[in-house]
Amino acid sequence: MRLSDRREAPHDAAFWDRRARHFRGGDAASPYVAGFIGHLRARHGESVLDVGCGSGALALPLARAGHDVVGLDFSAGMLDLLRRQAAGEGLRNVTTIQVAWDDDWRAAGVEVADVVIASRSLDVHDLRAALQKLEAFARRRVCITLPADGILYPQLLAHEAVGRPCVRRGDQATAVNVLRQMGIEPEVGSLEHVSASRYESPEAALESLHRMIAPAGEREERALERYVAAHLVETTGAAGAPEWRQEPQITVRWGFIAWDKPVEAP
Protein backbone atom coordinates (compact mmCIF):
# COMPACT_ATOMS: atom_id res chain seq x y z
CA MET A 1 0.00 0.00 0.00
CA ARG A 2 2.87 2.37 0.77
CA LEU A 3 4.42 1.69 -2.64
CA SER A 4 1.03 2.24 -4.26
CA ASP A 5 0.77 5.63 -2.56
CA ARG A 6 4.07 6.67 -4.16
CA ARG A 7 2.77 6.12 -7.68
CA GLU A 8 0.78 8.54 -9.80
CA ALA A 9 -2.93 8.67 -9.03
CA PRO A 10 -4.91 5.95 -10.87
CA HIS A 11 -7.03 7.01 -13.82
CA ASP A 12 -10.67 7.76 -13.11
CA ALA A 13 -13.72 6.63 -15.09
CA ALA A 14 -13.86 9.92 -17.02
CA PHE A 15 -10.36 9.30 -18.41
CA TRP A 16 -11.38 5.88 -19.77
CA ASP A 17 -14.67 7.29 -21.08
CA ARG A 18 -12.63 9.65 -23.27
CA ARG A 19 -10.23 6.90 -24.32
CA ALA A 20 -13.03 4.47 -25.24
CA ARG A 21 -13.32 5.79 -28.79
CA HIS A 22 -9.76 4.61 -29.49
CA PHE A 23 -10.46 1.03 -28.40
CA ARG A 24 -11.86 -1.96 -30.21
CA GLY A 25 -12.14 -5.06 -28.08
CA GLY A 26 -12.30 -8.70 -29.01
CA ASP A 27 -9.12 -9.17 -31.04
CA ALA A 28 -8.68 -12.90 -30.56
CA ALA A 29 -5.46 -12.77 -32.63
CA SER A 30 -3.73 -10.63 -29.99
CA PRO A 31 -0.89 -12.66 -28.41
CA TYR A 32 -1.94 -11.40 -24.99
CA VAL A 33 -5.62 -12.37 -25.48
CA ALA A 34 -4.73 -15.76 -26.97
CA GLY A 35 -2.28 -16.43 -24.14
CA PHE A 36 -4.76 -15.44 -21.43
CA ILE A 37 -7.54 -17.61 -22.87
CA GLY A 38 -5.10 -20.49 -23.27
CA HIS A 39 -4.22 -20.31 -19.57
CA LEU A 40 -7.84 -19.72 -18.56
CA ARG A 41 -8.96 -23.31 -19.12
CA ALA A 42 -12.64 -22.44 -18.99
CA ARG A 43 -14.91 -25.44 -19.46
CA HIS A 44 -17.65 -25.66 -22.06
CA GLY A 45 -20.71 -23.67 -21.02
CA GLU A 46 -19.17 -22.09 -17.93
CA SER A 47 -20.15 -18.55 -17.00
CA VAL A 48 -17.45 -15.87 -16.79
CA LEU A 49 -17.30 -12.68 -14.71
CA ASP A 50 -14.86 -10.25 -16.36
CA VAL A 51 -13.79 -7.61 -13.83
CA GLY A 52 -12.44 -4.47 -15.48
CA CYS A 53 -13.62 -5.74 -18.87
CA GLY A 54 -12.99 -2.49 -20.76
CA SER A 55 -14.11 -2.70 -24.37
CA GLY A 56 -14.20 -6.50 -24.37
CA ALA A 57 -10.68 -7.70 -25.16
CA LEU A 58 -11.54 -10.98 -23.41
CA ALA A 59 -15.30 -10.74 -22.98
CA LEU A 60 -16.01 -10.86 -26.72
CA PRO A 61 -13.82 -13.89 -27.60
CA LEU A 62 -15.22 -15.75 -24.58
CA ALA A 63 -18.79 -14.91 -25.63
CA ARG A 64 -18.05 -16.11 -29.17
CA ALA A 65 -16.88 -19.40 -27.63
CA GLY A 66 -20.30 -19.84 -26.02
CA HIS A 67 -19.71 -18.57 -22.48
CA ASP A 68 -22.22 -16.33 -20.74
CA VAL A 69 -20.13 -13.29 -19.87
CA VAL A 70 -20.85 -10.51 -17.39
CA GLY A 71 -18.50 -7.55 -17.83
CA LEU A 72 -17.83 -5.16 -14.94
CA ASP A 73 -16.20 -1.77 -15.39
CA PHE A 74 -16.42 1.70 -13.86
CA SER A 75 -16.25 3.36 -17.30
CA ALA A 76 -19.64 3.87 -18.96
CA GLY A 77 -17.87 4.64 -22.24
CA MET A 78 -16.03 1.32 -22.28
CA LEU A 79 -19.18 -0.63 -21.40
CA ASP A 80 -21.15 1.17 -24.12
CA LEU A 81 -18.49 0.21 -26.67
CA LEU A 82 -18.58 -3.41 -25.49
CA ARG A 83 -22.38 -3.56 -25.78
CA ARG A 84 -22.33 -2.06 -29.27
CA GLN A 85 -19.68 -4.49 -30.48
CA ALA A 86 -21.52 -7.46 -28.99
CA ALA A 87 -24.80 -6.32 -30.61
CA GLY A 88 -23.03 -5.84 -33.94
CA GLU A 89 -21.86 -9.46 -33.80
CA GLY A 90 -25.26 -10.74 -32.68
CA LEU A 91 -23.88 -11.91 -29.32
CA ARG A 92 -26.73 -12.16 -26.82
CA ASN A 93 -24.66 -13.72 -24.04
CA VAL A 94 -22.86 -10.54 -22.92
CA THR A 95 -24.18 -8.49 -19.99
CA THR A 96 -22.56 -5.38 -18.53
CA ILE A 97 -22.73 -3.77 -15.09
CA GLN A 98 -21.16 -0.40 -14.29
CA VAL A 99 -19.43 -0.86 -10.95
CA ALA A 100 -16.05 -0.01 -9.36
CA TRP A 101 -13.78 -2.13 -7.19
CA ASP A 102 -14.90 -0.46 -3.97
CA ASP A 103 -18.64 -0.60 -4.77
CA ASP A 104 -21.07 -3.14 -3.29
CA TRP A 105 -21.16 -5.65 -6.14
CA ARG A 106 -24.05 -7.67 -4.76
CA ALA A 107 -26.17 -4.53 -4.41
CA ALA A 108 -25.32 -3.74 -8.05
CA GLY A 109 -26.65 -7.15 -9.13
CA VAL A 110 -23.37 -9.00 -9.61
CA GLU A 111 -23.76 -12.74 -9.12
CA VAL A 112 -21.30 -15.59 -8.60
CA ALA A 113 -19.83 -17.00 -11.84
CA ASP A 114 -18.01 -20.24 -12.61
CA VAL A 115 -14.85 -18.38 -13.61
CA VAL A 116 -13.79 -14.89 -12.53
CA ILE A 117 -11.10 -12.97 -14.42
CA ALA A 118 -9.37 -9.64 -13.83
CA SER A 119 -7.11 -8.88 -16.78
CA ARG A 120 -4.79 -5.87 -16.39
CA SER A 121 -7.36 -4.26 -14.10
CA LEU A 122 -5.93 -4.76 -10.61
CA ASP A 123 -4.41 -1.30 -10.21
CA VAL A 124 -5.88 -1.05 -6.71
CA HIS A 125 -4.70 0.29 -3.36
CA ASP A 126 -5.77 -2.75 -1.33
CA LEU A 127 -4.68 -5.81 -3.29
CA ARG A 128 -5.73 -8.21 -0.53
CA ALA A 129 -9.31 -6.90 -0.50
CA ALA A 130 -9.51 -7.16 -4.29
CA LEU A 131 -8.26 -10.77 -4.32
CA GLN A 132 -10.72 -11.70 -1.59
CA LYS A 133 -13.53 -10.15 -3.62
CA LEU A 134 -12.60 -12.12 -6.74
CA GLU A 135 -12.42 -15.31 -4.66
CA ALA A 136 -15.87 -14.65 -3.17
CA PHE A 137 -17.54 -14.29 -6.59
CA ALA A 138 -15.92 -17.36 -8.19
CA ARG A 139 -17.54 -20.78 -8.16
CA ARG A 140 -14.61 -22.76 -9.67
CA ARG A 141 -11.61 -20.72 -10.88
CA VAL A 142 -10.01 -17.26 -10.72
CA CYS A 143 -7.48 -15.89 -13.23
CA ILE A 144 -5.73 -12.52 -13.05
CA THR A 145 -2.82 -10.66 -14.61
CA LEU A 146 -0.56 -8.18 -12.83
CA PRO A 147 2.62 -6.37 -13.92
CA ALA A 148 5.34 -9.02 -13.64
CA ASP A 149 7.95 -6.47 -12.61
CA GLY A 150 5.63 -4.18 -10.68
CA ILE A 151 5.56 -1.48 -13.36
CA LEU A 152 2.46 -0.41 -15.27
CA TYR A 153 2.47 0.97 -18.81
CA PRO A 154 2.03 4.64 -17.74
CA GLN A 155 5.12 4.34 -15.57
CA LEU A 156 7.18 2.89 -18.41
CA LEU A 157 5.88 5.68 -20.61
CA ALA A 158 6.83 8.33 -18.06
CA HIS A 159 10.30 6.83 -17.87
CA GLU A 160 10.66 6.82 -21.67
CA ALA A 161 9.16 10.29 -22.21
CA VAL A 162 10.42 12.44 -19.36
CA GLY A 163 13.10 10.31 -17.69
CA ARG A 164 11.18 9.82 -14.48
CA PRO A 165 12.32 6.85 -12.34
CA CYS A 166 9.87 3.96 -12.12
CA VAL A 167 8.47 2.95 -8.74
CA ARG A 168 8.27 -0.83 -8.65
CA ARG A 169 5.31 -1.94 -6.55
CA GLY A 170 5.86 -5.69 -6.62
CA ASP A 171 2.28 -6.59 -7.54
CA GLN A 172 2.96 -10.17 -8.63
CA ALA A 173 5.05 -11.16 -5.62
CA THR A 174 2.60 -9.45 -3.27
CA ALA A 175 -0.39 -11.21 -4.83
CA VAL A 176 1.24 -14.64 -4.65
CA ASN A 177 2.14 -14.20 -0.98
CA VAL A 178 -1.27 -12.78 -0.05
CA LEU A 179 -2.92 -15.78 -1.72
CA ARG A 180 -0.67 -18.13 0.24
CA GLN A 181 -1.74 -16.35 3.43
CA MET A 182 -5.32 -17.04 2.31
CA GLY A 183 -4.48 -20.75 2.04
CA ILE A 184 -4.24 -20.72 -1.75
CA GLU A 185 -1.23 -22.00 -3.74
CA PRO A 186 -1.65 -20.30 -7.13
CA GLU A 187 -0.42 -21.20 -10.60
CA VAL A 188 2.03 -18.58 -11.90
CA GLY A 189 2.87 -17.94 -15.54
CA SER A 190 3.71 -14.99 -17.76
CA LEU A 191 2.34 -13.07 -20.74
CA GLU A 192 3.61 -10.12 -22.75
CA HIS A 193 1.63 -7.13 -23.98
CA VAL A 194 2.92 -4.66 -26.57
CA SER A 195 1.49 -1.16 -26.34
CA ALA A 196 -0.74 -0.29 -29.27
CA SER A 197 -1.84 3.25 -28.48
CA ARG A 198 -3.58 5.01 -31.36
CA TYR A 199 -4.89 8.58 -31.45
CA GLU A 200 -7.11 10.66 -33.74
CA SER A 201 -4.66 13.58 -33.75
CA PRO A 202 -1.28 14.61 -32.30
CA GLU A 203 -3.19 16.90 -29.94
CA ALA A 204 -5.25 13.95 -28.68
CA ALA A 205 -2.04 11.96 -28.16
CA LEU A 206 -0.51 14.77 -26.13
CA GLU A 207 -3.67 15.11 -24.02
CA SER A 208 -3.81 11.37 -23.34
CA LEU A 209 -0.12 11.07 -22.48
CA HIS A 210 -0.38 14.22 -20.38
CA ARG A 211 -3.05 12.50 -18.28
CA MET A 212 -0.98 9.34 -17.98
CA ILE A 213 2.21 11.10 -16.96
CA ALA A 214 0.99 14.37 -15.35
CA PRO A 215 4.19 16.36 -16.06
CA ALA A 216 5.71 17.92 -12.95
CA GLY A 217 6.94 21.34 -14.00
CA GLU A 218 8.07 23.05 -17.18
CA ARG A 219 10.98 20.68 -17.88
CA GLU A 220 8.78 17.58 -17.99
CA GLU A 221 6.11 19.44 -19.96
CA ARG A 222 8.60 20.31 -22.71
CA ALA A 223 10.11 16.81 -22.59
CA LEU A 224 6.68 15.27 -23.15
CA GLU A 225 5.99 17.57 -26.09
CA ARG A 226 9.31 16.58 -27.66
CA TYR A 227 8.53 12.90 -27.07
CA VAL A 228 5.16 13.19 -28.83
CA ALA A 229 6.70 15.05 -31.77
CA ALA A 230 9.44 12.44 -32.13
CA HIS A 231 7.45 9.24 -31.57
CA LEU A 232 4.08 9.65 -33.33
CA VAL A 233 3.72 8.01 -36.74
CA GLU A 234 0.74 8.85 -38.94
CA THR A 235 -1.13 5.82 -40.28
CA THR A 236 -4.57 4.99 -41.66
CA GLY A 237 -7.17 3.61 -39.26
CA ALA A 238 -9.62 0.76 -39.83
CA ALA A 239 -12.31 3.19 -41.06
CA GLY A 240 -9.91 4.85 -43.51
CA ALA A 241 -9.42 7.97 -41.41
CA PRO A 242 -5.92 9.11 -40.43
CA GLU A 243 -4.67 8.16 -36.99
CA TRP A 244 -1.42 8.42 -35.11
CA ARG A 245 0.46 5.54 -33.50
CA GLN A 246 3.22 5.70 -30.90
CA GLU A 247 6.55 4.22 -32.04
CA PRO A 248 8.51 2.40 -30.87
CA GLN A 249 5.94 0.42 -28.97
CA ILE A 250 6.67 -0.51 -25.37
CA THR A 251 6.54 -4.14 -24.21
CA VAL A 252 4.95 -4.76 -20.83
CA ARG A 253 5.40 -8.11 -19.06
CA TRP A 254 2.43 -9.54 -17.17
CA GLY A 255 2.32 -12.20 -14.52
CA PHE A 256 -0.57 -14.64 -15.01
CA ILE A 257 -1.86 -15.93 -11.66
CA ALA A 258 -4.68 -18.47 -11.33
CA TRP A 259 -6.20 -20.80 -8.78
CA ASP A 260 -9.04 -23.31 -8.58
CA LYS A 261 -11.58 -23.31 -5.79
CA PRO A 262 -11.64 -26.43 -3.59
CA VAL A 263 -14.15 -29.05 -4.72
CA GLU A 264 -16.92 -29.25 -2.15
CA ALA A 265 -17.87 -32.69 -0.91
CA PRO A 266 -21.35 -33.83 -2.02
Confidence class for position 194, pLDDT limits 50, 70, 90: confident
The number of domains in the chain is: 1
Distance CA 147, CA 32 (A): 13
Is 201 a domain residue?
no
Residue 27: the pLDDT is: 66
HEC profile for 156-196?
HHHHHHHCCCCCCCCHHHHHHHHHHHCCCCCEEEEEEEECC
Is 46 a domain residue?
yes
Do 96 and 37 touch, CB atoms closer than 8 A?
A: no
Is 133 a domain residue?
yes
Would you say residue 15 has pLDDT above 70?
Answer: no
If one compares 201 and 1, the residue with the highest pLDDT of the two is 201
Do 94 and 33 touch, CB atoms closer than 8 A?
A: no
Residue 18: the pLDDT is: 61
DSSP string, 204-226: HHHHHHHHHH---SHHHHHHHHH
Q: What is the CATH number of the domain that holds 58?
A: 3.40.50.150
pTM: 0.80
Confidence class for position 147, pLDDT limits 50, 70, 90: confident
Is 247 a domain residue?
no
Is 56 a domain residue?
yes
Distance CA 253, CA 266 (A): 41
Question: What is the per-residue pLDDT across 165-180, written as a single tens digit (0 to 9) for each?
Answer: 777 777 888 999 999 9
DSSP string, 18-55: HHGGG-----TTSHHHHHHHHHH-PPTT--EEEET-TT
Question: What is the per-residue pLDDT across 81-107, written as a single tens digit (0 to 9) for each?
Answer: 999 999 999 999 999 999 999 999 999
Query: What residue numbers bound the domain in which 16 lies?
Result: 2-151+166-196+252-260
Residue 10: the pLDDT is: 62
Is 6 a domain residue?
yes
Is 244 a domain residue?
no
Would you say residue 256 has pLDDT above 90?
Answer: yes
Is 232 a domain residue?
no
Residue 52: the pLDDT is: 95
Distance CA 54, CA 51 (A): 9
